[in-house]
């Protein structure tokens, strides 16, 4: 399977939850009226696009239908596809790409969303693109987190810098930065603890980490990627809002998109938070984490 086919395959549940229902409505109603827009609104809301985002989409859709004098319900699907693409697309490629060398990626997210797995897969993806990658086990509050990251480092074939459980996370990151410079690594990926219930401590810890990175590698490109689990729906938006309070999140890694019929969360995240989704997980395999391409995502949903 090529990348696009894997994406299409991974979005099967969402396609059934959104596109197939839309097609049924367009066929069964057969005309463009308020009932049609009400049905579309319900489908989008139940696919986790959220009330606010859905209302914006429906209003714009009504305006386009009127403006283009559309009378065939089948054309509504095309206009909806264009609308979703417009929301997801970001003209600033600097915001949507992950590139640069040296590059420091700080990965944040609550425990259980697939953060460690995502770091392993990001390392694999970047290594496959010819980058020399180093990992930093900055989640020192869970022994399992350090062990899991080491397993991923061995699996992918990259080096890892770690300290004992309970060590100062910023000290781990400091050592990792020195190692990255000494070994001429292109990318350093830093794991962090995901303890949202102690937000104040988390904020202080992250600030300390960011200060160390800025001091030790001021010229490096920096990314803060937030890992969210697509299957948690609107709860993912709440998590994103909280993490945006404690860190300058530059992009989203959305995991487990293949496990939900509610992939509309991708659109909600971009619309409500204006944070680009940079990577998506559409399967369990090592290479099932992909760089997010808005057009391919919408095409995979609708075609």
Which tens digit of pLDDT belongs to each residue from 100-153? 789 999 999 988 888 999 999 999 999 999 999 999 999 998 878 999 999 999
- Of residues 151 and 246, more confidence is placed in 151
How far out from the chain centre does Cα 271 lie?
13
| pLDDT, position 1 | 62
* Among candidate residues 232, 189, 193, 245, the one with its CA nearest the CA of residue 213: 189
pLDDT category, 93, cuts 50, 70, 90?
Answer: very low
Class of 93-302 per CATH? alpha beta
Indicate the range of 15-29, 185-199, 260-274 predicted with least confidence. Answer: 185-199
pLDDT of residue 180: 97
DSSP three-state, residue 158: coil
Determine contact, residues 40/19, Cβ cutoff 8 Å: no
Q: Angle at which helices 234-246 and 199-216 pack, to 10 degrees?
A: 60
Tokens of 175: 């050592």
Q: Where are the alpha helices (DSSP H) in the chain?
A: 3-10, 12-17, 19-29, 34-44, 51-67, 73-88, 93-96, 115-128, 143-156, 169-182, 199-216, 234-246, 265-273, 294-302
Q: Is the pLDDT of residue 58 over 90?
A: yes
Identify the pLDDT of residue 94.
Answer: 47
- Burial (CB < 10 A; 0-12, 13-18, 19+), residue 89, is middle
Q: Among 72-76, 148-152, 172-176, whose mean pLDDT is lowest?
A: 72-76
Pinpoint the residues of the chain covered by CATH 3.40.50.300. Answer: 93-302
Q: In the prediction, which pLDDT does 108 show?
A: 94
Supply 185's token pair. Answer: 């690594």
| pLDDT score of 193 | 86
> Given this model, what pLDDT does residue 283 score?
86
pTM of the shown model: 0.90
Region(s) of the chain under CATH 1.20.120.140: 3-88
Helix axes 265-273, 73-88, angle to 10 degrees: 50
Q: Shortest CA distance to 183 belongs to which of 158, 207, 208?
A: 158
What whole-number distance in Å separates Cα of residue 296 and Cα of residue 303?
10
Q: How far apart are CA 200 and CA 96, in angstroms?
A: 29
Task: Note the pLDDT of residue 96.
Answer: 52
Among 39-53, 82-96, 141-155, the minimum mean pLDDT is found in: 82-96
Q: Domain 3-88 in CATH: superfamily?
A: SRP54, nucleotide-binding domain (1.20.120.140)
> What is the model's pLDDT at position 284?
86
pLDDT on residue 97? 59
């Amino acid at each position: 399977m090529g990348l696009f086919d894997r994406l299409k395959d991974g979005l099967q549940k969402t396609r059934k939850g959104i596109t197939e229902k839309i097609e049924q409505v367009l066929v069964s109603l057969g005309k463009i009226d308020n009932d049609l827009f009400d049905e579309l609104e319900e489908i989008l809301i139940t696919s986790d696009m959220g009330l606010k985002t859905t209302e914006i989409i429906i209003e714009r859709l009504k305006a386009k239908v009127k403006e283009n004098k559309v009378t065939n319900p089948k054309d509504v699907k095309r206009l909806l596809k264009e609308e979703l693409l417009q929301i997801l697309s970001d003209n600033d490629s600097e915001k949507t790409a992950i590139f640069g060398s040296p590059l420091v990626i700080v990965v944040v997210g609550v425990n259980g969303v697939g953060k460690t797995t995502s770091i392993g897969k990001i390392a694999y993806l970047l290594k496959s693109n010819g980058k020399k990658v180093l990992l930093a086990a900055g989640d020192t509050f869970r022994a399992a987190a350090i062990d899991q990251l080491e397993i991923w480092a061995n699996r992918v074939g990259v080096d890892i810098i770690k300290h004992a459980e309970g060590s100062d996370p910023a000290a781990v990151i400091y050592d990792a930065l020195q190692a990255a410079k000494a070994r001429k690594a292109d990318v350093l990926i830093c794991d962090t603890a995901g303890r949202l219930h102690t937000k104040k401590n988390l904020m202080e810890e992250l600030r300390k980490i960011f200060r160390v990175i800025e001091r030790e590698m001021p010229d490096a490109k920096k990314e803060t990627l937030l890992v969210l689990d697509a299957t948690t729906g609107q709860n993912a938006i709440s998590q994103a809002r909280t993490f945006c309070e404690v860190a300058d999140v530059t992009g989203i890694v959305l995991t487990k998109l293949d496990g939900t019929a509610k992939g509309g969360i991708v659109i909600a995240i971009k619309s409500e938070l204006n944070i680009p989704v940079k990577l998506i997980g559409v399967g369990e395999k090592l290479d099932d984490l992909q760089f997010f391409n808005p057009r391919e995502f919408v095409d995979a949903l609708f075609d």
